[in-house]
Structure 1
Amino acid sequence: MGAVYFYHLTQKPLQATLPVLLEKARAAGWRIAVRGPDEGRLGWLDDVLWMGAGESFLAHGLAGGPHDALQPVLLTTGPAANGPHCVMCVDGAEVTPKEVGDLERVCILFDGTDPDAVQTARGQWKTLTDAGCAAQYWSEETGRWEKKAESKSE
């Protein structure tokens, strides 16, 4: 059974944090789906990931292409065709307790400066932990990531 990790972004924006998490997940040998509720925003993230930082290159694709199933990282608004080990949810994208159980990891990244995003993440924490999912809450308020809370699976 997997676990869900909540990342409370307060120091660095999504476009800086997501590539770091994706690189770590890829280093673990995982295929990843990045799930968001808005195709336009995912298109923007697609551009951000293609630009990369310096010499870095993160192979990925935007759902709807001919090779979705082969993508190591697939940006999508729904279920992922690439058979992911990890789903990273952005902008309040939904995830079910069953998905958490079926995957190695689910990551929920949320903007700590947006009260609506914080409220949505709190609701997701309650829903998922009430369903018995193991969860961790990570904050970067001190400038480095620290685990602030943990809920074990039932």
Structure 2
Amino acid sequence: MGAAFFYHLTQRPLEATLPVLLEKSLAAGWRVAVRGVDRDRMEWLDRTLWQGPDDGFLPHGLAGGPHDALQPVLLTTDAALPNDAACLMAVDGAGVVPEEVSALDRVCILFDGHDPAAVDAARGQWRTLTKAGCAAQYWSEESGRWEKKAEA
């Protein structure tokens, strides 16, 4: 049974934080699905990840191509995980259900701490998942480094 990790972004934006978490997930041997809610935003994220540091390469693809099942990191707006992901990263308020937390090794929920609606949505997800019995951790970077602030 996995756990949901909530990442409250206040110091660095999604496009700076996500690659770090993706690299760690790939190093753990996991395939990853990044679930968003808007296709245009996922296309932007795809382009942003391809423009990463010159000394790095983050293999990924945008869902809807012929090789979705082969992608180590798949950016999608769908509930399905065709790349057999062990880790799901939900961004921009994308939904996560308790069954996914139970079935996957890890679920990461990244939310913008400067957006009150995103904070409220993350609080709702926390309540839903923990009420369903899912293990959860809340991480904040408010101090400038990541610190675990709560666990359920």
Normalised by the length of structure 2, the TM-score is 0.99
Unaligned runs of 5+ in 1: none
The aligned residue for residue 80 of structure 1 is 81
Q: CA RMSD in A?
A: 0.4
2:120 pairs with 1:103 = no
Runs of 4+ in structure 1 displaced over 4 angstroms? none
Unaligned runs of 5+ in 2: none
Identity %: 72
Q: Secondary structure at the match of 2:69?
A: helix
The aligned residue for residue 36 of structure 1 is 36
The aligned residue for residue 26 of structure 1 is 26
1:15 and 1:4 map into 2 onto residues whose CA distance is 20
In structure 2, give the amino acid aligned to 1:55.
D
Normalised by the length of structure 1, the TM-score is 0.97
The aligned residue for residue 140 of structure 2 is 139
The aligned residue for residue 45 of structure 1 is 45
In structure 2, give the amino acid aligned to 1:58.
L
- Kindly state the Cα deviation for residue 80 of structure 1 after the two structures are TM-superposed: 1.6
2:104 and 2:149 map into 1 onto residues whose CA distance is 23
The aligned residue for residue 126 of structure 1 is 127
The aligned residue for residue 115 of structure 1 is 116
Q: Secondary structure at the match of 1:8?
A: strand
In structure 1, give the amino acid aligned to 2:121.
T
Q: Secondary structure at the match of 1:16?
A: helix
Aligned residues: 151
Q: Secondary structure at the match of 1:43?
A: helix
Deviations 1:94-147 (A, max 9, x none): 010000000000000000000000000000000000000000000000000000
1:34 and 1:111 map into 2 onto residues whose CA distance is 16
In structure 2, give the amino acid aligned to 1:17.
T
- Kindly state the Cα deviation for residue 54 of structure 1 after the two structures are TM-superposed: 2.5
2:61 pairs with 1:61 = yes
- Kindly state the Cα deviation for residue 55 of structure 1 after the two structures are TM-superposed: 1.3
In structure 1, give the amino acid aligned to 2:140.
S
Q: Which moved further from structure 2: 76-85 or 103-112?
A: 76-85
